[in-house]
Amino acid sequence: MYEAIKKEDIDLEYNSKPIIAITMGDAAGIGAEIIDKALFKKEIYDICKPLVIGDLSVLVDALKVAKVDLKFNIIKSISKAKFKFGTVDVMDLKNIELNKLIMGRPQAMAGKASVEYISKAVELALNKRVHAIATAPLNKEAMNMAGINYAGHTEILADLTDTKDYAMMLTAGNFRVVHVSTHVSMREACSLVRKNRILTMIKLAYEALQNIGIKEPKIAVSGFNAHSGEGGLFGREEIEEIIPAIEEAKKLGYNIVGLYPPDTVFLRAFKGEFDVVIAMYHDQGHIPIKMAGFEFGINVTIGLPIIRTSVDHGTAYRRAGLRLGTGDPTSLIEAIKLATQMAKGKFGI
């Protein structure tokens, strides 16, 4: 269906603006709607060259609820892209039968398609045909209905890029959090609070922040237990695993501060005292980030050989099903902007 990727297709080294592949996510959610709204803003085309990977029929249908006026340019090769405001370049994978799609509900068809959009984007990024990927939300239940058993985008990307050490970094402006564990049970999260894993997250956070232009990131480390264990009274993870990781990181030259209790460290980071906080598990980091900036929060997968940013919200099935056109594109716009910033740094554009 698509032309073979050729080296001469496009030369990333000599592009004036980064090419950002935007994946459509779950077709039954708000992905297509927020993409249409985001790409109706000229500011996106002023900073990058956006390319959508998804299903044209869904994007066209979403225009009704997005209430924007766009044209679409179907391409099989990036060399055919126009990258012109008002005309959205689309790699149409034709995975969705629109007459069978039920908006607002998880379906195997949409789950399978959402993963195939990601696979195509990763292929392009690994072959250096695009500078970065920005993703709209997918749905874990829909993926599982299709027999694709991943916890989420992060795990799919790690598998497709054969990456062993990776992490999720959430950002809301200059407020950032990297997680030691994410999509696991609390029981398993306890078992993942280990010195070597924490040290790996510190290293990944440091490298990611350098990539966005922070030369010497100040990294704070959160405790795991209440009051950071209170000297062992409420748990020994701090004594046996977290503090040793902090001490080792300092020896390696990282600008580490802490250990700090989890009920105070995030507020201090929000006020600008630190560049990033290492959180010990999913909700410990997600709750403060979403409180700080639910509308404009971004998810960045760090440790990959490619750049990937994403919205920090789900498919919003309820909104999508009602077709009210209330999907907010702010998070996607911010994800595209950050992907652009990171690509400029990496490729020297």
pLDDT > 90: percent of the chain: 85
Same fold yes or no, 1-163+305-349 and 164-303:
yes
Reported confidence tier of residue 152, pLDDT bands at 50, 70, 90: confident
Q: What pLDDT was estimated at residue 11? A: 60
Q: Are 87 and 81 in contact (CB under 8 A)?
A: no
Q: What pLDDT was estimated at residue 146? A: 97
pTM (predicted TM-score): 0.90
Taking the C-alpha atoms of residue 286 and residue 161, their distance in angstroms, rounded to an integer, is: 25
pLDDT exceeds 60 at position 113: yes
- Is residue 298 classed exposed, middle or buried when 0-12, 13-18 and 19+ CB atoms within 10 A define those classes? buried
Each domain of the chain, given as residue ranges in start order, spans 1-163+305-349, 164-303
Q: What pLDDT was estimated at residue 213? A: 87
Q: Which fold has domain 164-303?
A: Isopropylmalate Dehydrogenase (3.40.718)
The string of pLDDT tens digits covering residues 255-296 is 999 899 999 999 999 999 999 999 999 999 999 998 988 778
Give 168 or 198, the one with higher predicted confidence: 198
The string of pLDDT tens digits covering residues 23-81 is 999 999 999 999 999 999 999 999 999 999 999 999 999 999 999 999 999 999 999 99
Spatial CA neighbour of 70 closest among 42, 98, 28, 95? 42
pLDDT exceeds 50 at position 4: no
Average pLDDT, the chain: 93
Structure tokens at 156: 């799919």
Q: What pLDDT was estimated at residue 224? A: 96
Q: What is the CATH number of domain 1-163+305-349?
A: 3.40.718.10
Sign of the C-alpha dihedral computed for residues 297, 340, 73 and 142 taken in this order? negative
